Structure formats: structure tokens, C-alpha cells
Amino acid sequence: MNDNDADTSTDSEAAVTTTGAPLFDETTRAELETRLRQCEQRFQSLPPSTDLLERAKLEMEIAELMLNLQRNGAAWEYARGALTTFIKREQWQAAAEACDILYHSEQPASIVALAHGVWLAVTYPVSIELTIGMLSNIVDETPDHADGAAVAAVVAHYVADMRAVDEKQHTSVTFLSSNLIARVARRHSQVETQEELDTWMDRLELRDPAVFLPRLSKILDIMAEDKWWFDRDELRAKLPVN
């Protein structure tokens, strides 16, 4: 579970918000600490013959607890180890979730991790909610007037539209993605009306997936800084379409 990009600092101070208020009460913190100790004990006692996938799932459980306790460097270490196994075992949902933890751990390579997570979430049938959430993270990381946020938002809407399994889910997820597009349009070009939104989408060429999906790919390449942790061509070759 070693990665040079992780900050291995372990701060024992109580987690607080930027305003100085406790992130959660001491009872909740104690419960998390207890669960963490139990998981760590289980992890340390795993026999060498333990299946790697079982080990990775426990690493993810520990990583999530570490993140909740704001031990971000340790959270990165566990999630990074789990990600490698999930990729090897073609567990795409779990791999995207690992990338999400890596992003939220706020380490030097967290933006690189976000690029990996978005690539996995868009390429494979990862849950719509996680996919929208990760694309929304790109929006949050992008300057207001940059076109990259618009591309991320429209891809989120495209995924929501394509992957929804029924009308109820479609209504729910496209509501989220439509709001994301509206937020991006407002901050990008002060768009307020439907007519302005239509004009804005036409101007930025956000209608055709054959145009905006390759644009997202270029954005992810920039975010990943040419430090891809897996061979994307190899993974693409495993897709059913191939």
C-alpha cells in the first residue's frame, strides 16, 4: 500500500470544520475509532492465502473510516492499494469508489485520482449517482469561465439519460444533471433563461456526444498529467463492444 504521492501524516486532533466547529460529536468519533480498530485488527490477521478481492474490500472499509476521521494520508494508502486489485479483477464500480476516496483524501495526486475515477465511471456501467458526483467534482475544480466544466456537466447529463433503468430513476438523475448544467452555464456566461441556455449549448458544441466525449478525454489527459495508473487501451479492449 505504498504510494509516494500520499501524505502519511496522522493527526490525532479532533476533526473540525474550517469555522473551528467539530465535524462530528465525540460519541460519533469514538464509534468510528472503535470500528477502525476492529477493521485494522481483521486486516492484520488476514492469512496470506486470503483472496486479494476480499483483502481489497477490507482496505476500502478502512480507507473510508480513515477519511471520515480525517486521517487522509492513511486513507489514500489503503484506497490506492485496493484500486490496484479492483482493476485487476475488473470490479469497475469498486474501482471508481476507490478513486473517489483518493480524490477526497486531498493528497498531491488527488486530481490525478479524480481523472482515473471519471474515466472508469464514464467508460463502464458505474452507478449514475457516483458518475454525476465525480463529474461535478471536475466542475468544482474548474475555473468559472473554463469550458471544461461545461463539458463535464453535459457528460453527466448524457450518462444520466443513457443509464437510467426506468422513468422514475431517469427523472431523478436528469434533474440532478440538468441542475448541474444550469449552474455551470450561469457561472460561465450568466445564462438565466432556456433560450440563453440553448444558445450557450450550441455555441460550446455541447449537443453531440461524438464531439463532447473526446473533449472530456482530453480534459482527463490533462488532469492525469500523463501519469495513468492503468493501460486504458487494454481496458477498452475488454469492453463488450470490442
Task: Give the span between the Cα atoms of 7 and 84, in whole angstroms.
Answer: 19
**Which three cell numbers, joined as nine digits, stand for 102?**
483518493
Enumerate the β-bridge partners of residue 22.
16
In angstroms and rounded to an integer, the radius of gyration of the C-alpha atoms of the chain is 20
**What are the helix and strand counts (H, E) for the chain?**
11, 0
Q: Does the residue 152 lie in any domain? A: yes
Same domain, residue pair 140 and 53: no
Confidence label for 27 from pLDDT (cuts 50, 70 and 90): confident
Confidence label for 9 from pLDDT (cuts 50, 70 and 90): very low
The DSSP symbol for 6 reads S
Same domain, residue pair 214 and 138: yes
Confidence label for 240 from pLDDT (cuts 50, 70 and 90): confident
* Higher local confidence (pLDDT), 64 or 26: 64
**Which three cell numbers, joined as nine digits, stand for 148?**
471544461
Number of domains in the chain: 2
Task: Give the span between the Cα atoms of 102 and 85, in whole angstroms.
Answer: 15
Domain that holds residue 139: 127-225
Give the model's pLDDT for residue 160. Answer: 97
pLDDT tens, position by position, 170-206? 999 999 999 999 999 999 999 999 999 999 999 999 9
pLDDT exceeds 70 at position 18: no
Task: Give the span between the Cα atoms of 64 and 86, in whole angstroms.
Answer: 16
Same domain, residue pair 15 and 69: yes
Same domain, residue pair 27 and 79: yes
The pLDDT of 219-231, averaged and rounded, is: 94
Select from 165, 170, 151, 163 the least CA-distant residue to 209: 151
Task: Give the span between the Cα atoms of 230 and 242, in whole angstroms.
Answer: 18
Q: Does the residue 139 lie in any domain? A: yes
Same domain, residue pair 66 and 139: no
Select from 140, 117, 118, 112 the least CA-distant residue to 5: 112
The pLDDT of 53-72, averaged and rounded, is: 96
Give the model's pLDDT for residue 226. Answer: 85
Tell me if 31 sits within 8 A of 106, measured CB to CB.
no
Confidence label for 49 from pLDDT (cuts 50, 70 and 90): very high
Percent of the chain with pLDDT strictly greater than 90 = 84
Q: Does the residue 230 lie in any domain? A: no
Q: Does the residue 231 lie in any domain? A: no
pLDDT exceeds 90 at position 41: yes
pLDDT tens, position by position, 67-96? 999 999 999 999 999 999 999 999 999 999
Give the model's pLDDT for residue 221. Answer: 96
Q: What number of residues does the chain have?
A: 242
Select from 12, 128, 20, 27 the least CA-distant residue to 73: 12
Task: Give the span between the Cα atoms of 60 and 78, in whole angstroms.
Answer: 7
Same domain, residue pair 137 and 49: no
Give the model's pLDDT for residue 22. Answer: 45
- Category of 230 on φ-ψ map: left (φ > 0), alpha (ψ -120 to 50) or beta: beta
* Amino acid making up residue 2: N
First to last CA, the chain: 33
Q: Does the residue 113 lie in any domain? A: no
Same domain, residue pair 13 and 52: yes
Same domain, residue pair 55 and 132: no
